[in-house]
Amino acid sequence: MRSLLFVPADGGAKLDKAMASGADAVIIDLEDSITPERKQNARAAALEFLKAQHAAKQRPRLLVRINGLDTGMTDADLAAIVPGRPDAIVFPKAEGGSSVVHLDAKLTAQEAIAGLPEGGIKILAQAVESAAGLFAAGTLRDVSRRLIGMTWGPEDLSAELGAETNRDEHGMLTEPYRLARSMCLYAAAAAKLPAIETVYVDFRNSDGLRRDTQDARRDGFSGRLAIHPAQVPVINEVFTPSPEQIAKAKVVVAAFAAQPGAGAVGIDGKMFDRPHLVRAQRLLASIGGE
């Protein structure tokens, strides 16, 4: 998933616009964008929307962000939306492997109640949104077959820290949040999961979004969260390999295939070793190539 677009569960026409945005995934939000007095109606709206869209042959993946385990609202959220068979749950403030195991168990129970196959609904963990989550991020490997990726969030984290801001006057992350971002990357790599970059909140600044997203791709993120449909085309473009990148990757794969067992190969006067092969294979796999 290159682009994952948030939209409030009770957003009405915004939900339809999100579906037409070109995003690889639409995240129906029951958490931050829904005030407490709107939660119940939002759950009903989310279920109605999921049921209406589920059978569509061509649609983005449908995810639902629930309220976290510490809110007391998780069970009500799951009971309401699991019958709609979302593709995945976005799990806010996931704090380590034990929290994912906890959510997995809740999903298993709700799938049984709804008469659904066990394990069909996956989990995308917002694993570094709190100090506790940061310290526990390395415990997510092999904790659940449902887990399909990890992301992070500087907004909740900065609120917990009592910080004035999480970006400097140039729009760059300050040191505590650069660390959190890096921890998400390392933890995702350790768990062998995709890392999804957080939102870029200045949604009218397309140049800033492009630069920031290019940095995310460079560093190893495979996609990005979005908060406005206008961000989707930029994110998709950045995370779609160029024809030149694809061609280069194919050359690297072919060179190693021609020399089985070689630790390094020469291509156009440059040496390429096994890590280059891994990167090339990963790039081609991301587009369904060899």
Provide the terminal-to-terminal Cα distance of the chain, rounded to the nearest Å.
18
DSSP state of 265: E
Distances in Å between the Cα of 33 and the Cα atoms of 6, 8, 64, 94, 105 are 9, 6, 12, 18, 26
pTM: 0.91
Q: Where are the domains of the chain?
A: 3-238, 243-286
Q: Is the pLDDT of residue 113 over 60?
A: yes
Confidence of residue 289 (pLDDT cuts 50, 70, 90): low
Of the two residues 262 and 92, the one the predictor is more confident about is: 92
Judged against a pLDDT cut of 70, whether residue 57 lies above it is answered with: yes
Q: How far is CA 52 from CA 64, 67, 86, in A?
A: 15, 23, 11
State the pLDDT confidence band at 268, using cuts at 50, 70 and 90: confident
Q: Is the pLDDT of residue 102 over 90?
A: yes
Q: Which superfamily is assigned to 3-238 in CATH?
A: Phosphoenolpyruvate-binding domains (3.20.20.60)
What tens digit of pLDDT does each residue of 154-191 get? 999 999 999 999 999 988 999 999 999 999 999 999 99
Alpha carbon distances (Å) from 108 to 71, 85, 111, 114, 122: 20, 13, 5, 10, 11
